[in-house]
Structure 1
């Protein structure tokens, strides 16, 4: 398994984050925000293959590219037409769907689901293209378990509400723990590889008291299976990083593999950052250091800075957290 990610858009312009989770037998593709022009960096086949779109909030610079995404995918059939966002997402997306003229849609069968992330539950509405998206069909709310909003076979997505004078949703994608066979232990037991090893990894298919190769499955699991924690990537943008936010974020991000985080302002512009509920380079780097993350990727940098100033912004972050970098192609 592997997580691959790419920041879309240029320095000083709208940005987005494209994430792929490759399990070895399938690839799931997630898009976080959809700024103007961001999808141009992806091949059309990649845009058509996006399974979930997650919005942090609905300021223009985070949603201006959605029309392009929807134009390519509005008639896509299947269960991968999913959109997620903070409170208010349901109403905003319903208006967005209804803002087009639909008169050639009757034979098209696409279904879209829009989920609104609350503190204790996730509310979802179903929208049907054959109905010209006339009605938002409310579905049963899902009670949140902790911060988890989505659980798939190979990964989970968590969300946290932050303050940008509106809710700005932060997201974290984590691969599930992988269980691998230790070949040395297998050889030491004098056992040969075979199809039974795949079943051994699944306690539902093969209960602990079941017999396999002359041994109880539970005993073999304890001797042969080695846990490998999955990778993780977090997406944070547009919020005030005060003491209350840091108190929530540090434990949540602890040990995260990759944190993609806005860095709108340089240290000298801290008053602007506070006024506009954004962050400085040093604040972001301090968060990464305190959370013990492996890598910090700075993005969503203010267009007020020229290239030399952006380079200085990065150095400010590296003074606090040496593992900070810009997306590829930004320097």
Structure 2
């Protein structure tokens, strides 16, 4: 599981930061990539990565402001030309379906795959299967905006081969059955229960991605015990009043969310173009005074999220 930031700027693109887009790469887990927001120029950013649009199976839009979705019609169109023929699930506030369908129709574009629209009117679980659960909750922005919580289901324990040594089992289907916790009957009539040969299960990873918002307790709930929290940080702590007026957060407020929620790592995103050069450290220092394990991300930064590696600061 890996996060790759395709755009980390706020409002308008700058020379150093493109507009909001974040890829959650689940290539080992599902052979899929999920995108969160698709700001203008996202597909141009993708050209500088190893991301293949055909691997993108889900897109989550936090809200319908242009800096978070103006790149969506182009990306959806290009996916057809780049081998994407499988259905794509698109999640977002009411209006996202009309926006996409109008853009596609007026530009006489044709998609070679189905888009399954999921317009979110309330918080709660929006997707769940045997490996992941995704939920959303409304945060406090000028228009309807959601934060997303991605929870991986627990991993089965490792097969304890030392306990199986006396059975002299060959590599093959029998070991696979035991790994899945199934019962196996051997040639000599003995029955083995897979659960007797498994180590303790491993907790799944949790990633929380917060769209544009003022400070709100909803963010704390979404981020509770997350391995990684991605939170907007448009302004520094000295601009608290301005942030509130424009329905945004400061880096210090994001750090307070991370501390209250007991997350492992905070990644600050959605950075105003005013924070260039040495001003970058104003955001970082404000946050680290409250929550030390904080990073201000840049375009193309990648963060691996490892199993049972909580507290790991590697990037």
Asked if 1 retains the 8 angstrom alpha-carbon contact of 2:7 and 2:299, the reply is: no
Corresponding position of 2:38: 34
Corresponding position of 1:20: 25
Corresponding position of 1:249: 219
- TM normalised by structure 2 equals 0.81
**Cα distance change on mapping 1:70 and 1:271 into 2, 3 Å:** same
Corresponding position of 1:215: 191
Choose which of 165, 175, 178 in structure 2 pairs with 1:197: 175
Number of equivalences: 287
Corresponding position of 1:226: 200
- Deviation larger for 255-264 or 230-239: 230-239
Moved over 6 A (4+): none
Corresponding position of 1:88: 95
Aligned Cα RMSD in Å? 2.7
Corresponding position of 1:181: 158
- TM normalised by structure 1 equals 0.77
**Cα distance change on mapping 1:212 and 1:330 into 2, 3 Å:** closer
Corresponding position of 2:76: 70
The structural deviation recorded for 1:86 is 1.6
Say which SS state the counterpart of residue 228 (structure 1) adopts: coil
How far does the alpha carbon of each residue in 1:61-113 deviate from its partner, in whole angstroms, 9 at most, with x for none? Answer: 111212330230246664432211023323333323322225xx5xx753221
Choose which of 107, 117, 121 in structure 2 pairs with 1:118: 121
Say which SS state the counterpart of residue 32 (structure 1) adopts: strand
What are structure 2's unaligned runs of at least 5 residues?
14-18, 302-315
Corresponding position of 2:289: 319
What are structure 1's unaligned runs of at least 5 residues?
121-146
The structural deviation recorded for 1:212 is 3.5
1 or 2 for the larger relative contact order (CA 8 Å, sep ≥6)?
Answer: 2
Corresponding position of 2:214: 240
